[in-house]
Amino acid sequence: MVLPSGAGVGPWSGRIDAGEQVLLLGPSGCGKSTLLRALAGAIPSHQRGRVTGTVRLAGEDGPIDPVADGVLAAAPVLGHLGQDPVSGVCLPRIADDVALPLESACTPPERIGARVHASLEAMEVGGLAHRDPSTLSGGQLQRAALAAATAAGPRLLLLDEPTAMLDADGVAAVRSAVESAVARTGCAVLLVEHRLDEWAGERGLAGLPQRTIALDRSGRVLADGPTGEVLAAHGAALRDQGSWLPREIEERLDGARRTPSAGAASTESVSMAPAPSRRAPQELLRLREATLGPAGRDVLTGADLTVRAGHLLAVVGRNGAGKSTLLGALSRLDPVRVGRLDGAGAGLVLQRPEAQFVADTVAGELAASGAAQTAQDEMLARLDLADFAAQSPYRLSGGQQRRLSLGAMLLADRPVLLADEPGYGLDRAAQGAVLALLREAAEEGRGVVMTTHDLRSIECADEVVVIADGRLHGPVAPGELLADGQLLHRAGLRARDEPHTARPVPMAPEGLTALDPPPRPRAPLARRDPSVLLGLLTALSIVCIALTDPGPLLGLYLLLAGGTMLGLRIGPFALARAQAPFVLFAVGVFMVNVLSRPGHEPWPELPVRVTCEGIVLGTALALRALVIGLGALTVVRATDPGRTMTSLRTHARLPARISLALLAGQRLLEDLPRRWETITRAHRLRRPSSADGTPAPLGPRAMLRCAFALLVDAIRSSARIAFALESRGLGAGERTQWRTAALTRADGALVLGVVLTVAAVLVLSW
Amino acid sequence: MTASRPAPASDTDTAPAPDTAAPRRTPLTLRELVLVVVLGVVFGFLYWVFVQAWNALAIVMGPAGDISQHLVFGSWLLVAPIALAILRRPGVGVLAEMLAATIEVLFLGSPVGPLLLLSAALQGIGSELPFALTRYRRYGWGVFAASGALGASLVFAWTAYRMGWYGQDLLALRLGIQVLSGIVLGGLLAKVIVRALERTGVLSDFAIGAASAGAIPERRAR
C-alpha cells in the first residue's frame, strides 16, 4: 500500500484466522493505521492511495474485496475503534449509535432493542443507553463505541490505539470490554497500541495478543509470529527505530547491553536520568492557597505550587482530575478565584498542536514568535524541521507538530514553559525528542511544567505533583512516586489491583437501558410528532407571508403565544426572553419601513419623514417576523433533533443517509463552542502577553485565524465521521429502522385545532 | 449488498472521487454528504460567532442597521462555492446552502422559519450557476466572483417581496450593497479560503486534491 506522500506499508502476506489475536507493532509513520484502514476498505475509497496485491475478507456470501468495494462492503464483517473517543460515537444518543450496524444488517426492528442492550451490557455501559455522548467520560465513550463496533457480530475487530487518551483505569476498562466482546462474538482482533504495559496489565507479556506482526520504520514486515519470539528476536531493532516495547523486554534489552550508548541521545533520552542541579534554584512562579475551576465548581482547592528555574516538574492525575485547570491558571488564561499567583509570565503548549498554529508555513510559525531571524533559523535546525520550512504546519506528522509548537513557544522566550500532555500519542523516538526539548529548556534556566499520564516520562522529571481528590499532593521525587502503589493508583497511573472488575458505571439519571422506551417529555406539545409540528409551522409561515394587514397578524401572534405557554409549560417572562433576538429584528424592520416608505405624512413638522403607509406596513411586517419567529422557537423547543429525524424518516421518507448525516452534523454543532474556546485560548497564548502576564485578547485578524483553524479541524472530523458511519454499514442499501414515529389522535386533534383557529382569525378580520 | 451501490473506484489506482474533468452522475457518497453537512454546520456556527460581534455595530447604526444586513449578506453565500470547489459535483452548492439552512431552522430556530429553505435554494442555485456553466471545470477568480454576484441577486427578488422592500426608497441601494457584498464575501473570499485549505492538505482526499495531485509516486524507501 502506497500513499500519495510516497510512504508505504507492506508487502505483507498472511492470514488472520477466526478468533486470532494479533498485535501490530512498529514506530510512528510505519503504516500501522494505513494497514488497518486498507483492511477496513478506506483505501482508496476514503483516502488516496494505491493497493497492490489482493485483500480478501471472509464474508457470509463469499469473499469480500475491501479495496475494490470500499468501507460499506467490509462493514458487515469488520468492527473498528479509533483513538479519539469523541469521534468514535457519531449520533446524539448512545443507543441509536449502537443500533446503526444492526439496522444496516436488516435486523427486524423488534429484536434490535434487546441486541443493543446486550451489546452495551457486555461493555458494562448498559445504563448509558439514553445518554448524550457529550456527557460521558473518555473511557465510557470508548466502551460505547466498542459496543457499536461489535453489535452486529463482526468477524474481525480493528483497534487503532484505542487507549491513547485514557488514564489507567480507562485502559483497564477498555481492555476488559475488548475481552468480553471477543468472548461474546468470537471475533479476531488486530491491535495497534503504544501503551503495551498498561494494556497487558499485571500479566506482562502474557497479557498481550499471542501473535505479533512487527513493522520497521519504512513499513516493511520485520517478523510475523508468536509475540514472545518476535520481541525477543527483533526487540532491539524495533527499539532503535523508535517503537515502544513492553517494559519486560526493555529491561531484558538493557540487561543484555550494559554499556550505556550515549551516542543515540535522541532516542535514548526517555530513560535518561535527570541532571540533578541542586543549587538553590530561583523561584519563577508561585501559586498559593488557590482555588481553581470555573465559577461554582471548585476543581482544585488549597493549591500550592512553586515553579523553579532549571526544574522540570511533572503533574499527574486521572482524566478530569484538574491537570488542565491547573495549567490554565498558571498560564493566567483563567483567573485564580481564591489565593494568588505571583511571578513570571508562562507559555502554554496545548495537547493538540493544530489548535495553536497561527501561520501558513512552518517558518512563519516560528517567525510569529517575534524572535530574531538567527534564533529562528537555529530553532528550525534544532527541531529538525529545516526541510519543511515552507510547508504548511498542518501537513507535518504528529511528532513534528508537537516539536514545532514547543519550539515556537520556546522562541517567545517566557521564563516558564507549560506543556499539556506533550508525549501523548507519540512513539518512543518522538516522545524522546519532545522530552529532550523540555529537558533542554529547563537546563537553559526556564521553569518547565508538563502534565502526563505516562509512567516513563515521569522518570525524566525532577519532581512530580499528584492531583487527586481536588488537591495537589507533593511534590515528590519520581522514584518515590513509582515505589508507592497507592499513590500511583490515585494518580491514575496504575489501574486498581483487580483490573477485571471495572469501575461501576454511574447509571443514567433515570437508569434507563436500551430496553426502555425513551423518556416521554412532560409538556403536551413536546409529545406531538415533529413532522406534524414542522408541517404546521410551514403552513403558518405561508399564511403569514400572504397577510399584509396588522390585525389578523396580531391575533395570530397572541394566540400562538398563549398556545406556546400552555403547550410547552413556560411562563410569559421566559417566553419573552427567548424572543428577544426576534424582537430586535422586528424593531429594525418596523423602523426602516416607517422612515423609508413614501405616502401620506401625518406629522409633517417632524424632522424625518414618517408616513401612514409606512407605519401600517411596518407593523404588519414586524408582526409577521414575530409570528414566524415564535413558531420556529416553539417547534425547536418542542422537538429534539433525534426525534425529528426519526419522524422525518418515518413520515417524509427522508433517506437514512441524509438524516443520519444531519444528526452527525448536529452532534458536531454541539461540540463546536467547546472547540472554538480551545482554539481561541490556544491562539491567545501565541500573542505577546500584556504587562501583568495575562494572555492578550484576540483582534479581528486573530479571530479569522481561529475560524480557519476551526474549519480545518471540522473537515478532519468530517472524514472521521463519514468513516465511522460507513463502517457501521450506513449506505443507500436496504435497512430496517429501530425507532419509528407513530401518529396519534392527539396529533390529528392538534392539526384540526390549529387550522380552525387560523381560519377563525382570518374570517373574523375579513 | 454491494449490488445497489456504485463502486467508488473500480480501479485501485485512482483517487476517492476520480476524474474531476467530467462530473459523475452517481449519487453523492456518504463522505461527500458528510463534508457538505459539516461545512454547513461550521459556517452556520462561524456566522453566528461573527454576527455577535456585528450586532453591536448594527445597534449603533440604528435604523440603518436594517441596511447593514446587506453588507454582510455575502457571507451567507460562502458555503456553496467552497463545497463546489472541493467536491466538484453538480448540485453540491445548492445542497450545501440548503443543509446549512436546515441546520439553522431545525436546530437553532430562525426568525424566517422553514421558508428559509426556499431562500437557501435560490441562493444555492445562483451561486452554483456560474460553475455549472463551466461544466464544473473552471475554478478561477472570475467564476467565484460571478458566483457571489448571482447568488446575491437571484435571491434578492424573493427576499424583497417577503420583507416588503418593494415600494421603499432604498430598493436600489439595498440591491447594490448586496451584490457587492456577494462578490467580495460570497465569491472572492471563498476562493481565498479554498486556497488556504488546500495548502493544509486536509482536502487532498477530495476531488480538489485529486485534480491538483499527480499520480501516486513509487514507494519511497526510508
- Torsion, Cα A48 A51 A57 A60, to 10 degrees, reads 60
In Å, how far is B84's CA from the nearest CA of chain A? 15
Q: Is A664 on the interface with B (CB under 8 A)?
A: yes
Q: Which three cell numbers stand for residue A519?
A: 423518556
Nearest 5°: the CA angle A522, A523, A529 is 100
Tell me how far apart the alpha carbons of residues A375 and A380 are, in angstroms, rounded to a whole number: 9
Q: So what's the ipTM on this one?
A: 0.85
In Å, how far is B93's CA from the nearest CA of chain A? 16
Q: Is A54 on the interface with B (CB under 8 A)?
A: no
Predicted pLDDT at A487:
81
Please report, as a single letter, which amino acid is at residue A125.
V
Question: A283-490: what CATH class?
Answer: alpha beta
What are the chain B neighbours of A8 within 8 Å (beta carbons)? Answer: 219-220
In Å, how far is B94's CA from the nearest CA of chain A? 15
Q: Is B182 on the interface with A (CB under 8 A)?
A: no
CA-wise closest residue to A650 among A566, A750, A743? A743
In Å, how far is B37's CA from the nearest CA of chain A? 6
Helices (H) and strands (E) in chain A, counts: 28, 17
Q: Is B61 on the interface with A (CB under 8 A)?
A: no
What are the chain A neighbours of B13 within 8 Å (beta carbons)? Answer: 44, 50
Q: Which three cell numbers stand for residue A502?
A: 471495572
What confidence tens digit (pLDDT) does each residue in A165-203 have? 788 888 888 888 888 888 888 899 999 988 888 888 777
Nearest 5°: the CA angle A441, A445, A449 is 55
Q: Do the chains contact at A662 and B99, CB–CB below 8 Å?
A: yes
Among partner residues B65, B109, B221, which is closest to A588 by beta-carbon distance?
B65
Q: Which three cell numbers stand for residue A80?
A: 473498528
Weakly modelled stretches of chain A, pLDDT under 50: 258-278, 498-510
Confidence of residue B1 (pLDDT cuts 50, 70, 90): very low
What confidence tens digit (pLDDT) does each residue in A98-123 have? 999 999 988 898 899 899 998 888 88
Q: Do the chains contact at B203 and A717, CB–CB below 8 Å?
A: no
Alpha helices in A75-167 (DSSP H): 85-88, 94-104, 109-122, 138-150
More confident residue, B127 or A125: B127
- Torsion, Cα A153 A158 A160 A166, to 10 degrees, reads 30
Predicted pLDDT at A545:
83
Q: Do the chains contact at B34 and A725, CB–CB below 8 Å?
A: yes
What are the chain A neighbours of B34 within 8 Å (beta carbons)? Answer: 661, 664-665, 718, 721-722, 725
CA-wise closest residue to A36 among A147, A189, A217, A218? A189
Minimal-distance CA residue of chain B relative to A580: B111
Query: CB-based contacts of B147: which residues, under 8 Å, 6+ apart?
Result: B77, B80, B81, B84, B126, B127, B128, B129, B130, B131, B186, B187, B190
Among partner residues B14, B37, B50, which is closest to A665 by beta-carbon distance?
B37
Q: In terms of C-beta distances under 8 Å and separation of at least 24 residues, what long-range contacts does A271-274 make, across chains too? A: A271/A456, A271/A459, A271/A460, A272/A435, A272/A436, A272/A439, A272/A460, A273/A459, A273/A460, A274/A312, A274/A439, A274/A460, A274/A461, A274/A462
Q: Do the chains contact at A629 and B113, CB–CB below 8 Å?
A: yes
- Give A 329-368 residues with CB within 8 A of chain B: 360
Tell me how far apart the alpha carbons of residues A126 and A515 are, in angstroms, rounded to a whole number: 10
Which of A217-226, A480-489, B77-86, B190-199 has the least mean pLDDT? Answer: A480-489
Predicted pLDDT at A303:
82
Tell me how far apart the alpha carbons of residues A169 and A140 are, in angstroms, rounded to a whole number: 11
State the greatest distance between any 2 C-alpha atoms of chain B, in Å, as a whole number.
72
Tell me how far apart the alpha carbons of residues A316 and A478 are, in angstroms, rounded to a whole number: 11
- Give B 115-144 residues with CB within 8 A of chain A: 115
Q: Do the chains contact at B109 and A633, CB–CB below 8 Å?
A: yes
Q: Is A67 on the interface with B (CB under 8 A)?
A: yes
What are the chain A neighbours of B63 within 8 Å (beta carbons)? Answer: 588, 591-592, 595
The phi, psi pair for A438, rounded to 5°, reads -65, -40
Contact at 8 Å (CB) between A743 and A532?
Answer: yes
Q: Is B68 on the interface with A (CB under 8 A)?
A: no
Q: Is A509 on the interface with B (CB under 8 A)?
A: no
Architecture of domain B30-211: Orthogonal Bundle (1.10)
Q: Is B21 on the interface with A (CB under 8 A)?
A: no
Q: Is B78 on the interface with A (CB under 8 A)?
A: no
Spell out the domain ranges in chain A.
283-490, 525-644+749-764
Q: Do the chains contact at A708 and B196, CB–CB below 8 Å?
A: yes
Quickly tell me which residue has 511544567 as its cell: A449
Instruction: Map chain B to HEC letters.
Output: CCCCCCCCCCCCCCCCCCCCCCCCCCCCCHHHHHHHHHHHHHHHHHHHHHHHHHHHHHHHCHHHHHHHHHHHHHHHHCHHHHHHHHHCCCCHHHHHHHHHHHHHHHHHCCCCHHHHHHHHHHHHHHHHHHHHHCCCCCCCHHHHHHHHHHHHHHHHHHHHHHHCCCCCCCHHHHHHHHHHHHHHHHHHHHHHHHHHHHHHCCCCCCHHHHHHCCCCCCCCCC
Contact at 8 Å (CB) between A671 and B38?
Answer: no
In Å, how far is A81's CA from the nearest CA of chain B? 18
Q: Is A596 on the interface with B (CB under 8 A)?
A: yes
Q: Do the chains contact at A662 and B38, CB–CB below 8 Å?
A: no
CA-wise closest residue to A711 among B144, B204, B184, B203? B203
The model's pTM is: 0.85
What are the chain A neighbours of B102 within 8 Å (beta carbons)? Answer: 662
Among partner residues A52, A394, A586, which is closest to B202 by beta-carbon distance?
A394
Query: CB-based contacts of A364: which residues, under 8 Å, 6+ apart?
Result: none
Q: Which residues does residue A308 pair with via DSSP β-bridges, in sequence order? A: A283
Minimal-distance CA residue of chain B relative to A9: B219
The phi, psi pair for A215, rounded to 5°, reads -115, 145
Q: Do the chains contact at A662 and B103, CB–CB below 8 Å?
A: yes
Confidence of residue B25 (pLDDT cuts 50, 70, 90): low
Other C-beta atoms lying within 10 Å of the C-beta of residue A260: 11
Minimal-distance CA residue of chain B relative to A733: B4
Q: Do the chains contact at A50 and B13, CB–CB below 8 Å?
A: yes
Tell me how far apart the alpha carbons of residues A285 and A92 are, in angstroms, rounded to a whole number: 43
Predicted pLDDT at A434:
86
